[in-house]
Amino acid sequence: MSSDKYEFARSPCAVASTLDIVGDKWSLLVVRDLLRGKTTYGELAESLERIPTNILAERLRRLEENGLIEKNAYQQRPVRFAYTLTAKGRELGDVLLAMVRWGRRNIPGTQNLDMPGGSSRKTRPRPASAKR
């Protein structure tokens, strides 16, 4: 971890500080899609949840500003960018996996969207005896 000074929005609490960066309704879904191989604005905009384009643009800007993604121009006229996760952004994969596990255990009918090509499958609710 860097020893640089950081200006906390609310407090030095790790949970609060992380939520200040990715705790909105859309940011982790963008990270999810980047982890699944989407790279362009158009691909991200076509996600199942249909993030509004103005919000997508803002979330991409915020994720880049916080060092979670980087963008590289792949076309000049008009300029178009490919987005990729940085090492810092890829670390959120563990957070997403924990959310998937929690959702599968606690939200009946939750679907897995981690399959290549965007296909999904419903997960079966765990029997009460298997729940912890």
Q: Which domains does the chain have, with CATH numbers?
A: 14-130 (1.10.10.10)
Answer whether 0.85 is exceeded by the pTM: no
How many angstroms separate the Cα of 70 from the Cα of each of 65, 101, 106? 9, 28, 34
Give pLDDT tens digits along the chain (132 positions).
Answer: 555 777 888 889 999 999 999 999 999 999 999 999 999 999 999 999 999 999 999 999 999 999 999 999 999 999 999 999 999 999 999 999 999 999 999 999 988 765 333 334 444 444 444 444
Alpha-carbon distance of 25 to 34, in angstroms, equals 16
For residue 8, give Cα distances in angstroms to 13, 44, 108: 9, 29, 37
